[in-house]
A and B are shown apart, each in its own frame.
Chain A
Amino acid sequence: GNSVTQMEGPVTLSEEAFLTINCTYTATGYPSLFWYVQYPGEGLQLLLKATKADDKGSNKGFEATYRKETTSFHLEKGSVQVSDSAVYFCALTKGQAGTALIFGKGTTLSVSS
């Protein structure tokens, strides 16, 4: 079946460090892929997405490239800030109308100054 696997957290970094959060997926067909971010006490916000192979989604300095050959959608940022501290969720579509996105378990990022 379709699934998303994220690296276990928490990830603890110093400000201005490089960030990578790994995400791999299992899916039939060609899903769309998403990264969501959840700040403390809030709902999830869409961070970026990619809808086909080799697409790169980007937003707020974050990037992720849809790699079909490795079934991956790793999230990267060159220089993290304290304000990036949050939980990050990788997700994919089943591609079927009505069904919800399939989410990974989330990775907590903590950035210290």
Chain B
Amino acid sequence: SQTIHQWPATLVQPVGSPLSLECTVEGTSNPNLYWYRQAAGRGLQLLFYSVGIGQISSEVPQNLSASRPQDRQFILSSKKLLLSDSGFYLCAWRPPGGRETQYFGPGTRLLVL
């Protein structure tokens, strides 16, 4: 069966520090991968998605970036965090194809102080 992992689970970082969040998927090949952010009490904001190694699409302009160095690894990064980057970051995967269910990881809670 497929599983999706995210780490760390919780992170507290000072403003201006770098960020690296990791997401890995097991039990599937060539998944579509997604990063979302959920601010407190708000809905989901799609940040990036990837349909293959090295292929990243950005949905919103921001100081975050994403990379996919391996088929089942998706990394969210920042060189300098802002207070507004605080939130709950969710990684998700989906089988290739247009109508498939999307599966979410447990999330990383980021607090920027």
Contact = CB atoms under 8 A, between A and B. Distances in A.
Interface stretch (A18-26, A60-68, A97-105): A97-105
Nearest to B57: A98
B99 A93 contact: yes
Contacts of B104: 36, 43-45
Interface string B69-113: 000000000000000000000101010111111111111010000
Interface residues of B, number: 25
Contacts of B105: 43
Given A43-B90, A43-B104, A105-B42, A98 B51 contact: yes
Given A43-B105, A43-B107, A46-B103, A98 B43 contact: no
A95 interface: yes
B98 A49 contact: no
Contacts, number: 61
Q: Which of B44, B49, B103, B109 has the most CB of A within 10 A?
A: B44
A100 B46 CA distance: 8
Given A46-B102, A96-B98, A98-B96, 9 more contacts: A31-B99, A44-B90, A93-B99, A95-B99, A97-B96, A99-B49, A100-B102, A104-B43, A105-B43
